[in-house]
């Protein structure tokens, strides 16, 4: 009997397996089929962009090269006053043409009737093409500031540009440079846009610039604007005559910042907002209006949550502080195939032009 025990166990296991197969066969015959796997959901491609039809011109004012975009369609007001001009200043490790392509600013310029100027920092000035926003001489009107102001004047002489509608905008180091340019030449710049920008008036060395980018300038932010206003009120010597400089005019600004930025910490936006409020004579208190827009989809692509803090003088919007959730150190709504651009919205280029459209420098 001991020799037959393994055979009995084997027969019993085969019988159980046969019953299980029978039950499975009955289920299949009754139509109880295993669920089908759904095909993976593919992302909807972004909408096709219209082709550019304007002029893409290149030029130079030594040592700076530049590119200029002029839309082909000329609005009626341009024939009377000239093109409004946006000066776009790239960030570190970017070229002017990469910045133009990544931000898609030229496509909006086509639709809205803006000329767009893209100066390019030289490798001899900085090995990573960084604008030297942190340099003390530049912050006081020399260096890159003087070169950019001269370049704008050259473009104004060569092309029909509306001197009352010239705007400066930049990303990262370019944003810092846009502020330095505007505050030293308010006779040129009507408003500015800063995307992921560092605090104005601090740094003064490459190591100091890195410290500002990581920590802002909690102690130096107010002092920098105070020093600027003192310089504007100082007496200037012109042709042997001592003349007072004109007072600093209002300077509207839009500040765009990613909440997850690890290169220029979001604390910089807080300190910048305080600087622009001080400069425009506004109290450092709560915003006049706060708007919160949840994440979603717009124009066929995803959009991060957006929080807007608007500061008004009467009905005039002087300062807009835009904080974008989920965004790192990248141009919001740009061409994600290029470095320092995030494909998800909101569209920073559209936000900037909408803000600039509200402002004109008093002649």
**Residue 85's pLDDT is what?**
97
Give residue-wise pLDDT tens across range 276-288: 999 999 998 899 9
DSSP code at position 51: P
Please choose, from the candidates 197, 177, 166, the residue with its C-alpha nearest in 3D space to the C-alpha of residue 322.
197
The fraction of the chain above a pLDDT of 90, given in percent, is 71
Among 1-15, 140-154, 325-339, 343-357, which stretch is predicted with the lowest mean pLDDT? 1-15
- If one compares 65 and 36, the residue with the highest pLDDT of the two is 65
Own/partner contacts of 241-249, CB < 8 Å, gap of 24 or more, are 246/187, 248/183, 248/186, 248/279, 249/186, 249/361, 249/362
For residues 339-361, average pLDDT: 97
Q: What is the mean pLDDT of the chain?
A: 86
Distance CA 134, CA 140 (A): 10
Please choose, from the candidates 132, 88, 150, the residue with its C-alpha nearest in 3D space to the C-alpha of residue 334.
88
Q: Is 66 helix (H, G, I), strand (E, B) or coil?
A: strand
The full DSSP string for 188-229 is T-SEEEEESPPPTT---SHHHHHHHHHH--TTHHHHHHHHHH
The full DSSP string for 309-344 is EEEEETTEEEEEEEEETT--SSEETS-TTSTTEESS
Distance CA 267, CA 322 (A): 13
Q: Does the N-terminal peptide bond of residue 290 adopt cis geometry, omega within 30 degrees of 0?
A: no
The full DSSP string for 14-47 is HHHHHHHHHHHHHHHHTT-PPPPPPPPPPPPPPP
What domains are there in the chain, each with its CATH number? 55-217+245-356 (3.40.50.1820)
What is the tally of helices (H) and strands (E) in the chain?
Answer: 11, 16
Give residue-wise pLDDT tens across range 107-130: 999 889 999 999 999 999 999 999
């Amino acid at each position: 009997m001991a020799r037959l025990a393994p055979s009995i166990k084997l027969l019993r296991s085969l019988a159980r397996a046969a019953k299980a197969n029978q039950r499975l066969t009955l289920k299949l015959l009754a139509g109880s089929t295993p669920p089908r796997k759904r095909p993976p959901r593919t992302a909807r491609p972004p909408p096709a962009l219209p082709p550019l039809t304007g002029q893409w011109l290149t030029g130079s004012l030594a040592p700076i090269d530049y590119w200029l975009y002029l839309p082909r369609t000329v609005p009626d007001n341009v024939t009377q006053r000239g093109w409004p001009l946006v000066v776009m200043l790239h960030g570190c490790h970017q070229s002017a043409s990469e910045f133009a392509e990544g931000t898609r600013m030229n496509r909006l310029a086509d639709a809205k009737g803006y000329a767009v100027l893209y100066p390019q920092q030289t490798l001899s000035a900085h090995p990573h093409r960084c604008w030297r926003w942190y340099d003390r001489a530049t912050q006081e009107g020399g260096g890159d500031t003087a070169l950019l102001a001269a370049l704008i004047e050259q473009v104004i002489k060569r092309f029909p540009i509306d001197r009352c509608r010239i705007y400066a905008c930049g990303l990262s180091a370019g944003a810092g440079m846009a502020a330095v340019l505007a505050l030293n030449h308010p006779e040129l710049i009507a408003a500015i846009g800063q995307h992921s920008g560092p605090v104005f008036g601090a740094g003064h060395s490459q190591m100091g610039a890195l410290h500002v980018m990581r920590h802002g300038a909690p102690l130096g932010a107010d002092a920098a604007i105070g020093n600027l206003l003192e310089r504007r009120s100082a007496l200037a010597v012109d042709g042997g005559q001592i003349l007072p400089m004109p007072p600093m005019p209002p300077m509207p600004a839009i500040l765009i910042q990613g909440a997850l930025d690890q290169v220029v910490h979001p604390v910089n936006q807080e300190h910048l907002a305080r600087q622009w409020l001080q400069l425009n004579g506004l109290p450092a208190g709560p915003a006049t209006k706060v708007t919160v827009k949840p994440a979603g989809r717009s124009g066929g692509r995803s959009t991060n949550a957006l929080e807007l803090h608007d500061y008004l003088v009467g009905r005039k919007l002087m300062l807009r502080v835009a904080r974008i959730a989920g965004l790192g150190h990248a141009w919001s709504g740009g061409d994600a195939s290029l470095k320092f651009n995030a494909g998800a919205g909101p569209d920073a280029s559209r936000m900037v032009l909408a803000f600039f459209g509200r402002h004109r420098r008093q002649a």
